[in-house]
Amino acid sequence: MRTFVISFLIGTAAVLVILVVGLMALGFAAAAGDWDNFDIAIGPIGLFAFERDGTTTTTSMGIGVVPVAALAGLVNAGAAVLLRRRARSA
């Protein structure tokens, strides 16, 4: 259980940092490059939105960033538990 929890937390935190930094970089690139409005979403759950209205730009990260990071942490934890079981049985 300890392996699962630690792997889940580390995986979630790592993916969350990567997503936030990546989406910030995307926002900077969109603002500097005169891009039009766009959204990135998984179904109805928004991850990122960029809006340009005249001279104003708005960049926002949606609530979907947290579930995506948690899902990645869950995959990381499952892989860690699987590898630990294989190492014990070998």
pLDDT at residue 54, rounded to an integer:
84
pLDDT at residue 11, rounded to an integer:
96
User: Where in the chain are the domains?
Assistant: 2-89
List all residues 6 or more positions away from 76 whose beta carbon is below 8 Å from its beta carbon.
7, 8, 10, 11, 12
pLDDT digits (tens, 9 = 90+) for 8-67: 999 999 999 999 999 999 999 999 998 999 999 999 999 999 999 988 999 999 999 999
Spatial contact of 67 and 73, defined as CB atoms under 8 Å apart:
no
Round the CA-based radius of gyration of the chain to a whole number and report it. Answer: 18
